[in-house]
Amino acid sequence: MLVADPTRESAGALDWTMSHALLKHDRLLLLHVVPPSPSWLQAFTSTFVRNAPPAAPEFLVAMRAACEAKHTKNLVEAEVVEMRGKDKAATVLAETNERSIDLLVVGQKRNFSQSLLGCRLSNGLPNRGMDTAEYCIENSKCLCVGVQKKGQNAGYLLSTKNHKNFWLLA
């Protein structure tokens, strides 16, 4: 499963997944998490629109098409799910548990000071300084890989629970 967003980090994670993690006849799920819609909008929608699935954004359709073009023997699914509560990472982890996912790939963004110091200020609150990728890496029951694409031909920087900032030249 890949956490899909309209960001370059997510595009880099998809690139790594297609070139290094996806095997023949594997199933790939592109999961996009959207914020919950306001209650007034839900009431309006339920009144006029019956059982309408959320529409897939253009970037998600493009990601799916790129996967299907490169890996024709793989089943590629794209899904949009609504965030449960206020935390995107918790929603992603809940989806991995419900679907019995083996590998979770998340695009990861690091700023300069974070890569030098290797930490963030948490202001005394647990997980306050963690981004979605870091939270998923630390709390996922399945293997979770944070991927940073480093330039056009510079390779990838991978992070897992056991290996932080592993440089893969590819």
pLDDT single digits (tens) 90-146: 999 999 999 999 999 999 987 655 555 555 544 433 455 678 999 999 999 999 999
Residue 143 main-chain phi, psi, to 5 deg: -70, 125
Range of the domain at 89: 2-168
Supply the CATH number for residue 62's domain: 3.40.50.620
The count of domains in the chain is 1
Global confidence as pTM = 0.81
Write the pLDDT tens digit of every residue in 43-55: 665 556 555 555 6
Q: Is the pLDDT assigned to residue 5 strictly greater than 80?
A: yes
